[in-house]
């Protein structure tokens, strides 16, 4: 029983990391239709930001965290300006932006590996290690609650959602589509960067940490559905529980357990491609 409880807390904590990455995808997909696989590298940038400010310069955690999140907003903003907007303004198809962002993925990864080298770097935990998982869960819930309130209760949240529902109708309301796009990238980068910062005390900051997070987050997104913010959270938790229950109880070598999310991904794409939670129609 105690074993199962510990397992649940641990799965919930890694589920929250996946959920934040899924949220990053979702914030950008909803208004723009662009799937940005560079979210994993953004998480890595967030982790290295944590290393730099918290380990190297020993800033207090709250201040360092705020600075990393602020920096990530800037990273998302700049990424949109150089890799997405020029294409959108020339009328390029969505795929062009997705490919340009894959290029940015390489730029981020190689940039970090040049600057910090290939070795992992320690990132301190915000609270003592035994409470780390609870901190991760709490921080994620706060973020999801805030994002949910933004979309459900504020006019600008509705405006973002309006862009997701119908870009042309949204433009006719006087919504500035360029501003919504750049804001969704900034928000996505902040969510991804937070995921990186929160996972880093466990995994260390490493220049190759991005792709696995991008895949787990994407799986979570597909499972939960892109229609609702809650879907990202639900999807993240399901992926993590499936993973950890397999590792713990299934008679499989642990390497195989990493395939479980991918199996889930395939299953959902075949059986329920809209994900568990549908957008309200």
Partner 1 sequence: MLRLSEVHASYGAATVLHGVSIEMGAGETVALLGPNGAGKSTLLAAVTGTIRSRSGSIVFDGAEIVRAPAHRIVQAGVRLVPEGRLVFSPFSVEDNLRLGALRLEGELSERFDYVYRLFPRLAERKKQPAGTLSGGEQQMLAIGRALMSRPRLLLLDEPFLGLAPLVVHQIRSALEKLRASGLTLLIVEQKLDIALAFASRAYVLIKGAVVLHDTTADLVRRANLADLYLSLAPRG
To partner 1, the closest distance from the beta carbon of 48 in angstroms equals 37
Q: Is 178 in the site for partner 1 (CB under 8 A)?
A: yes
- Alpha carbons 131 and 193: distance in angstroms, whole number: 21
Measured from the CB atom, is 257 or 279 closer to partner 1?
279
Q: Is 166 in the site for partner 1 (CB under 8 A)?
A: yes
- Alpha carbons 104 and 139: distance in angstroms, whole number: 28
To partner 1, the closest distance from the beta carbon of 157 in angstroms equals 10
Q: Is 153 in the site for partner 1 (CB under 8 A)?
A: no
Q: Is 177 in the site for partner 1 (CB under 8 A)?
A: yes
Q: Is 280 in the site for partner 1 (CB under 8 A)?
A: yes
To partner 1, the closest distance from the beta carbon of 218 in angstroms equals 25
Binding partner 1 (rule: CB under 8 A), the pick from 158, 241, 248, 276 is 158
Q: Is 44 in the site for partner 1 (CB under 8 A)?
A: no
Binding partner 1 (rule: CB under 8 A), the pick from 2, 5, 128, 168 is 168
To partner 1, the closest distance from the beta carbon of 278 in angstroms equals 11
Q: Is 96 in the site for partner 1 (CB under 8 A)?
A: no
Stretch that binds partner 1, among 111-119, 141-149, 154-162, 269-277 (CB under 8 A): 154-162
Q: Is 169 in the site for partner 1 (CB under 8 A)?
A: yes
Measured from the CB atom, is 69 or 159 closer to partner 1?
159
- Alpha carbons 243 and 11: distance in angstroms, whole number: 8
258, HSE (Cβ side, Cα atoms, 13 Å): 5
To partner 1, the closest distance from the beta carbon of 274 in angstroms equals 15
Stretch that binds partner 1, among 106-114, 122-130, 151-159, 188-196 (CB under 8 A): 151-159
Stretch that binds partner 1, among 113-121, 169-177, 194-202, 206-214 (CB under 8 A): 169-177
Three-state secondary structure string covering the chain: CHHHHHHHHHHHHHHHHHHHHHHHHHHHHHHHCCCCCCHHHHHHHHHHHHHHHHHHCCCCHHHHHHHHHHHHHHHHHHHHHHHHHHHHHCCCCHHHHHHHHHHHHHHHHHHHHHHHCCCCECCCCCCCHHHHHHHHHHHHHHHHHHHHHHHHHCHHHHHHHHHHHCHHHHHHCCCCHHHHHHHHHHHHHHHHHHHHHHHHHHHCECCCCHHHHHHHHHHHHHHHCCCCHHHHHHHHHHHHHHHHHHHHHCCCCHHHHCCHHHHHHHHHHHHCCCCCCCCCC
Binding site for partner 1 (CB under 8 A): 91, 155, 158-159, 161-162, 165-166, 168-169, 171-178, 279-281
């Amino acid at each position: 029983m105690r074993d199962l409880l510990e397992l649940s807390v641990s799965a919930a904590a890694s589920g929250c990391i996946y959920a934040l990455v899924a949220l990053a995808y979702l914030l950008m997909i909803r208004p723009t239709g662009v799937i940005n696989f560079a979210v994993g590298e953004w998480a890595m940038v967030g982790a290295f930001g944590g290393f730099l400010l918290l380990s190297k310069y020993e800033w207090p955690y709250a201040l360092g965290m705020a600075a990393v999140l602020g920096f990530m907003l800037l990273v998302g903003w700049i990424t949109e300006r150089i890799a997405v907007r020029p294409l959108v303004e020339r009328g390029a198809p969505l795929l062009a932006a997705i490919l340009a962002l894959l290029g940015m993925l390489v730029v981020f990864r190689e940039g970090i590996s040049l600057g910090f080298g290939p070795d992992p770097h320690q990132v301190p935990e915000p609270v003592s290690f035994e409470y780390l998982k609870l901190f991760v869960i709490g921080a994620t819930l706060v973020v999801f609650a805030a994002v949910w309130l933004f979309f459900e209760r504020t006019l600008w949240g509705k405006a973002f959602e309006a862009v997701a529902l119908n870009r042309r109708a949204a433009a006719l309301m006087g919504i500035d589509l360029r501003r919504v796009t750049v804001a969704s990238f900034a928000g996505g980068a902040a969510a991804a960067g937070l995921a990186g910062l929160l996972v880093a005390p466990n995994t260390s900051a490493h220049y190759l940490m991005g792709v696995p997070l991008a895949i787990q987050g994407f799986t979570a997104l597909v499972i939960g559905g892109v229609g609702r913010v809650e879907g990202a959270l639900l999807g993240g938790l399901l992926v993590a529980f499936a993973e950890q229950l397999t590792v713990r109880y299934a008679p499989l070598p642990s390497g195989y357990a990493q395939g479980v999310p991918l199996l889930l991904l395939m299953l959902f794409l075949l059986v329920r491609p809209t994900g568990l939670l549908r957008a309200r129609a």
